[in-house]
Structure 1
Amino acid sequence: EKYELKEVTVPRQPNIPKRLQHGPTEQFHAKTVKEYYCPQYFQIMDIISTQLIQRFAQEGLLVYEKLEHYLLTGQASEVLPQYPEIEYHLLSAQITTLSSVYKYTSVSEVVDILRKMPARERCFFSQVQKIVRILLTIPASSCEAERSFSALRRLKTWLRSTMTQKRLNHVAICNIHRDIMDKLDIEAIAKEFAMCCDRRKKVFRF
């Protein structure tokens, strides 16, 4: 009553044409709401479960997970040979040293430790820096790339068909990283643009 919701009822269930009926089995008609929606509920849950398994079983995500696990635990991983720029023996020793001095449970905490570390001390963890850069740059899944391509459909429409590639790239970056763009001071940017030359100063009256 509070939300003015109608009572859930069993909708009309059409009969299967006789020409499509095979065998003596009678057509099932749900008599209650539970009987009608229960098969649909389990079908939806099965689809969701399957999609989640497929999403998190991507090869890139598994590689990311193994690299992260190695950085946090120091246990050997078979994905390291894929990155010849990493010296395995040095990395193992550096992770052991880092974990004995600092406490961390995530990649972001390792990043914070390296950022706060003095430069002369950070140079002793060169291989740790390499694996952190890899973890921060490789895409864990294709979701972000797919969202970026979906954004292009909204950015370059039929009304913007004359947009050049350079401008499209800039607009796409602004759209993809709009969380950063929202924090920018628009007035400060406009003032900086207007102060670049004398002509702009006269036009914008600065």
Structure 2
Amino acid sequence: MLEAAEVTIKNLQSLRCEHKFKRLFEEAEQKLHLCDLDAIPLPRKKKIPKRLDQGLGFASNYCHDSAEEFYRVEFFSVIDAAVLNIKEYFTSTDLTEYQDLSSVLLTGTHKPEIITKYLELNESLNQQLDFFHNQFKESTVDDYRKIFADMVPEVRRMFPQVEALLRLLLVSPASSCTAERSFSALRRLKTWLRSSMSQQRLNHLMICHVHRDRLATLSPQAIAEEFIRAELQKTNEGPFLVDSD
């Protein structure tokens, strides 16, 4: 995510030059001429509010000499604002710290300034990482998660600090997008027409909606059979078989 943000910033900064604006403005003028439209006008000059006009002589609005000069300033301002917002968003969050923590696992590099921030980790992590990377070399955190999931308990107990590091990476969200998606899904599910829905039904619908990809892989026939079997066990009516047809 941080690399994608950096690529976007470099692309925006490459557009911030006189040549790019000049070509864009000329293309706009050519299209206006082809469509037989009026030339690009200057925005209407707004009157200064009385509370700002104190008769000092310097409160008059600045007027650009041409539309090209006006939109040149707007063009550069938009790019500068976009670059600044991207930098503030990705540096004001914990993404950088999360990236540093994941690099410890992926590269095996011991960084004391990062390790000391977490009570779950200690100095033995350095030796365990060296031993662990001699046996396993992957490129993503999810790959290491699969390795630990398939690892026998006897081997897993040899890397308690590496496992603690992996757990920190898995439970610490890189962003709040997942939580924000749940609020968007709630808005779509609980509409004004569904205002009387019970909390239990709403929770079940939310789970089905958020995990719809996993839900699509389930067999409705198997779910129906399991539900009927559970209900019959409650009433002590014995086993019940459902025709697969």
Q: Same fold (TM over 0.5)?
A: yes
Gaps of 5+ in 1: 1-5
Question: Matches of residues 144-163 of structure 1 in structure 2 within 5 Å?
Answer: 144-163=178-197
2:144 counterpart of 1:84: no
| Residues 167 and 51 (structure 1), Cα distance of their counterparts in 2 relative to 1, 3 Å cut | farther
- Residue in structure 2 matched with residue 166 of structure 1 by the alignment: 200
- Give 1:18 shift: 6.0
Distance in 2 separating the partners of 1:39 and 1:54 = 22
d(CA) in 2 for partners of 1:194, 1:161: 30
Q: Deviations over 1:106-148 (max 9, x none)?
A: 2123223323333321210111111111111111112221221
Higher-Rg structure is: 2
- 1:99 corresponds in structure 2 to 133
Deviation, 1:38, is 4.8
Deviates more, 1:152-161 or 1:98-107: 98-107
* Residue deviations 1:134-190 (CA, integer Å, cap 9, x gap): 111111112221221222211212111112222222222222222222222233323
Aligned-partner residue type, residue 67 of structure 2: A
Contact 1:69 1:75 in 2 (8 A): no
- Determine helix, strand or coil for the equivalent of 2:94: helix
Amino acid paired to 1:152:
L
* Matched residue type, 2:126: S
Alpha-carbon distance in structure 2 between the residues aligned to 1:125 and 1:11? 67
CA contact (8 A) 2:40 2:67 kept: no
Q: Tell me the distance in 1 between the aligned counterparts of 2:218 and 2:225.
A: 13
Residue 9 of structure 2 is matched in structure 1 by none
Matched to 2:45, the amino acid is I
**Once superposed, what is the RMSD of the aligned Cα atoms?**
3.4
Q: Which residue of 1 aligns with 2:151?
A: 117
Is the contact made by 2:128 and 2:162 (CA closer than 8 Å) also made in structure 1?
yes
CA change 1:79–1:171 in 2 (3 A) is: farther
Contact 2:208 2:215 in 1 (8 A): yes
% of aligned pairs identical?
Answer: 36
> Are 2:101 and 2:114, in contact at CA under 8 Å, matched by a contact in 1?
yes
For the 8 Å contact 1:10–1:36, the answer to whether it is kept is: no
2-side partners of 1:79 and 1:8: how far apart?
61
Q: How does 1:1-206 map to 2 (within 5 A)?
A: 10-17=39-46, 23=60, 26-30=63-67, 38-73=72-107, 74-86=109-121, 88-198=122-232
Calculate the TM-score normalised by the size of structure 1.
0.75
Kept in 2: contact 1:94–1:127 (CA 8 A): yes
Separation in 2, partners of 1:190, 1:118: 35
Corresponding residue pairs, total: 195
Q: Which amino acid aligns with 1:67?
A: L
- In the alignment, is the contact (CA less than 8 A) between 1:58 and 1:141 conserved in 2? no
Amino acid at match of 1:116: D
Range 56-65 or range 142-151, more displaced: 56-65
Contiguous gaps of at least 5 residues in structure 2: 1-34, 50-57, 233-239
CA contact (8 A) 2:64 2:70 kept: no
